[in-house]
Structure 1
């Protein structure tokens, strides 16, 4: 029997049934831990189900969809708090960084505001827009779509490896990562997929029109990897888009809405 069941993923575009997994954990007398590092902002905005009422422990980061600074949080039931504190300090953590505590306090405050929720809604909308745009161009989307901020793409139908796609897109200023996909026949360093996220784009204030444009530019770069003229054209358009939506930070974007 397992002592603990863990729910969480780094590249899963659908929703996890926390209630069902909690029931399974109770049936085998196991603790239930949820890592919602990728999803915390969407959960805070109440746009997707929260695991907090179902899990014994919940962990998350303060960046990614939360759009804050580096750092993490452990939530737990009251009966576990002393054991968690003892496990963290002093063995894993020394004196807390006061600047990081301030950064956490700020993003937690912002997470209660309507402007934060607006960015999270755009994050969901933008991910769905990218998934649709990719499918319209003949790309295979793992699970057929997305329920969160991630889009996982199977490149086998295009005859391109994840590594090749990652490097080609990086060359034009589009940063994403190669990613293993289900039943991946490629080697771990090469893989057959790539993963997109909409959080950073949404925090910069981009919307549906920009998502359509980004997918168009991605497709141009991937389908013309050896054509220098087209690659330079794509690179220029990516730079133009970045200048139109500069990285002012999530706080600045929310203040302007």
Structure 2
């Protein structure tokens, strides 16, 4: 077998990969769930571990030849324990959703009850949406954010828990810009003898750096993604106390997955090592500072923010007040044309469809990785406002695109 480059073997895929690298270099990634990993993480994820089956866990594999797979997975586990202060960690889930599945399989039976946040209020598909396996397998009710404040209505949550008697309450969200009161949700779970799953997929890195409160040691289970604010190998993670370790590990393998993606586990190990350095804490703080600056500058331009601001890495803009005739999809498309990549998003009290909603969600992890500070982020907010205000004006979009090109040249990504 020859070991040729991708371009030697498959020019079409090589062209697509080169195009994607250029796209990332030449645009501002502001989708809140995206980030840019280091060259070291890229190298680990493209390593020879992609060739290795390692069903089972370190020291207890079903195949031979796993000594280095064991070493890498053990490093990822120990580093995760240090980062988040967890007793037990499973780093094998292929994604955040698979991590949630692992907890559900470990602790619930089909037909059991889940109480989670409504999707259009900031929840996630894997928390019980009817189209997801959770909605098809379990009985689901959902709590909400307060329509006036944009904050989670904890009083309603308590009342719903008492009435619904869930088996598990899910916290942690995909479009919620405020700090989360983990203890309050745990109190609701304790009152009805339910488990508490805290899904920190979006804020995994912020929690690790101590710039967002941590549910570890409060919730029974903590799940997360490892490729958003943490900048590690793409995938998921489960953290829990030792009393649940065997149930969780068995639910992940063989319950929900076969062989782990060991090249991704290697990327997790490398990313966790990077996150243990003091520079990562500075990065995470800058992510939040940039998000606050982004939100304040957008408000100066007349945009309405759900909850009036942010405590974390994202802002959620409700366009209905400032731009009632502009949908989130129209704003998203116009901004992508100029090189600012964010996403349309539902907002609390949504009056349009989920496919063409009334809001946009913008995050700062990616641009902060590039080196943006508050001043540069405020300029990005100015550019966003210009485009959304005149999203049909080709001259405006051309001018903004030129400035985005200058910014991406100034704040380089991959060489």
Normalising by the residue count of structure 2, what TM-score does the alignment of the two structures yield?
0.59
Shift of 1:189: 1.5
> Which whole-Å deviations, capped at 9, do the CAs of 1:168-211 have from their partners, x for residues lacking one?
11111110110111111112221110000010011111111211
In 2, Cα distance between the equivalents of 1:230 and 1:73? 43
Distance (whole Å) between structure 2 residues aligned to residue 122 and residue 6 of structure 1:
28
Looking at structure 1, the residues matched to 386 and 380 of structure 2 have their Cα atoms a distance apart, in angstroms, of 10
Q: Is the 8 A contact 2:230 2:271 kept in 1?
A: yes
Which residue does 2:175 correspond to in 1?
11
Task: Provide the residue aligned with 2:166 in structure 1.
Answer: 2
- In 1, distance between residues paired with 2:208 and 2:255? 30
The counterpart of 1:122, out of the listed 286, 296, 304, is: 286
Does the aligned pair in 1 maintain the 2:372–2:411 contact within 8 Å? yes
1:90 is displaced (CA, Å) by 1.9
Equivalent residue number for residue 199 of structure 1: 365
Instruction: Say whether 1:73 aligns with 2:219.
Output: no
Tell me by how many angstroms 1:76 deviates.
Answer: 1.1
Cα distance in 1 between the residues matched to 2:266 and 2:233: 10
Instruction: Please give the alpha-carbon distance, in whole angstroms, between the structure 2 residues aligned to 1:150 and 1:101.
Output: 27
Find the counterpart in structure 2 of residue 215 from structure 1: 381
Q: CA deviation at 1:117?
A: 0.6
- Aligned equivalent of 1:182, options 319, 343, 348: 348
- Residue 141 of structure 1: which of 305, 330, 350 is its match? 305
Look up the SS of the partner of 2:263 in the other structure: helix
CA–CA distance in structure 2, aligned partners of residues 31 and 147 of structure 1: 26
Counterpart Cα distance in 1 of 2:387 and 2:181:
37
Q: Structure 2 unaligned runs (5+)?
A: 1-164
Paired residue for 1:109? 273
- CA deviation vs aligned residue, 1:143-180 (integer Å, no higher than 9, x gap): 01000001000111222111110111111111011011
Gaps of 5+ in 1: 250-257
**Counterparts of 1:183 and 1:25, CA distance in 2:** 26
Provide the C-alpha distance between the structure 2 equivalents of 1:61 and 1:226, rounded to a whole number of angstroms: 37
Query: Which whole-Å CA distance do the structure 2 matches of 1:104 and 1:212 have between them?
Result: 32
Which of residues 226, 229, 233 is equivalent to 2:395? 229
* C-alpha contact 1:13 1:152 (8 A) present in aligned 2: yes
Q: Is 2:335–2:387's contact at 8 Å kept on the other side of the alignment?
A: yes
| C-alpha distance in structure 2 between counterparts of 1:225 and 1:78, whole Å | 53
CA RMSD in angstroms comes to 1.2
Q: What's the secondary structure of 1:148's corresponding residue?
A: coil
Report the Cα offset of residue 233 of structure 1.
1.0
Matched residues in 2 for 1:55 and 1:226: separation? 48
1:253 aligned partner: none
1:95-133 CA distances to partner (integer Å, 9 max, x unpaired)?
222222221111211222111011101101000000000
CA distance in 2, matches of 1:228, 1:32: 50
Name the SS of the counterpart of 1:153 in structure 2. strand
User: How far apart, CA to CA, are the structure 1 residues paired with 2:351 and 2:256?
Assistant: 38
Counterpart Cα distance in 2 of 1:33 and 1:11: 17
Matched length: 249
Shift of 1:28: 0.7
Tell me by how many angstroms 1:37 deviates.
0.4
Whether the aligned pair in 1 keeps the contact of 2:232 and 2:269 (CA below 8 Å) is: no
Q: Say if 2:329 and 2:356, in contact at 8 Å, map to a contact too.
A: yes
How far the C-alpha of 1:248 sits from its partner, in A, is 3.4
Is this contact kept in 1: 2:332–2:344, CA < 8 A? Answer: yes
| 3-state SS of paired residue (1:64) | coil
In structure 2, distance between residues paired with 1:14 and 1:248: 32
Task: Say which SS state the counterpart of residue 219 (structure 2) adopts.
Answer: coil
**Does the CA contact (< 8 Å) of 1:221 and 1:230 recur in 2?**
yes
Residue 93 of structure 1 corresponds to which residue in structure 2?
257
